[in-house]
A = this chain, B = another copy of it.
Amino acid sequence: MKIVRTIAKLQLDRTKSIAFVPTMGAFHEGHLALMRRAREAAEIVVVSLFVNPTQFVAGEDYDRYPRNEERDFELARKIPVDVMFAPSVAEMYAGEETVIHVKGVSERWEGEHRPGHFDGVATVVAKLFNIVRPNIAVFGLKDFQQAVVIDRMVRDLNIPLALLFEETVREQDGLAMSSRNAYLSPEQRRLAPMLHEELEQLSKSKSAGDKELSESKERLAKAGFAVDYLALVDGATLEPARKLEKGNRFIVAARLGATRLIDNLGF
């Protein structure tokens, strides 16, 4: 595995197919599943490791976001990843004035709670796509709204690549794997799987109207979660939906102490 730290040194054999996995590091099984999917999908696998400052909103955890490059490199080597691209903030943002905004789908839910977050995501992903120029890019569905935003951006801007989305990888107790799970205290960690359980229960209920969603939010609140939102949405537009059917998706964001967890569940 080649470790590349500057854009100029990222020289790829463009006669071969390239699959790309953008990440912020702190790899867990979720990331490794994306890399394995990329490995199957193309001849060259490029992974980027870049903790993107512009997608952290004021007051968030940019400074304390978990970083452990050596461990990440070791895990990626085992896939095996061909090229690990780990650029500096200084090179990625050398006088940055250009912002990509995806209206509609980026403005709801996470967009309301983390204003500017998806502008940061869309912009850095477009930059990475232009730098790596992959044929295929692989994203996880754990960040479901992010997946919808990137899908919309790729289509709207005619970005010449195919997107692959991988289902969320979970701990044995159902908690969606996330780099931020490391922030949880032992007590919070015991509580955290309840997010997934509530979505599971809702998806198995006969209907998921305001009543069922409210009751679920109350249970989460009583257990100690501060719920930002819990909703059933159209998986393409992210607008509220009513029917428990394919194409729709439950989405949830809730805080346990200072740690914000998100999850989602389809049909």
Which of A102-110, A178-186, A242-250 is near enough to bind chain B?
Answer: A102-110
Q: How far is the CB of A48 from chain B (nearest CB, A)?
A: 12
Within 8 A of B (CB), among A98-119: 98-105
A187 part of interface (Cβ distance < 8 Å)? no
Which residues in B have their C-beta under 8 angstroms from that of A104?
97
B157:A98 contact, CB within 8 angstroms: yes
The chain B residue sitting closest to A156, CB to CB, is B98
> A152 at the A/B interface (Cβ < 8 Å)?
yes
Interface residues of A in 112-131 (CB under 8 A from B): 122-123, 126-127, 130-131
Q: Is the CB of B156 within 8 A of A97?
A: yes
Contact A130 B159, CB 8 Å, known A97-B105, A98-B103, A122-B98:
yes
- A95-B156, A98-B156, A101-B101 are known; give 18 further A-B pairs, CB within 8 A: A7-B158, A96-B156, A97-B102, A97-B156, A98-B100, A98-B102, A98-B122, A98-B152, A99-B101, A99-B102, A99-B103, A100-B100, A100-B101, A100-B157, A127-B157, A130-B157, A130-B159, A131-B158
Q: Tell me the complex Cα distance, A100–B122, Å.
A: 10
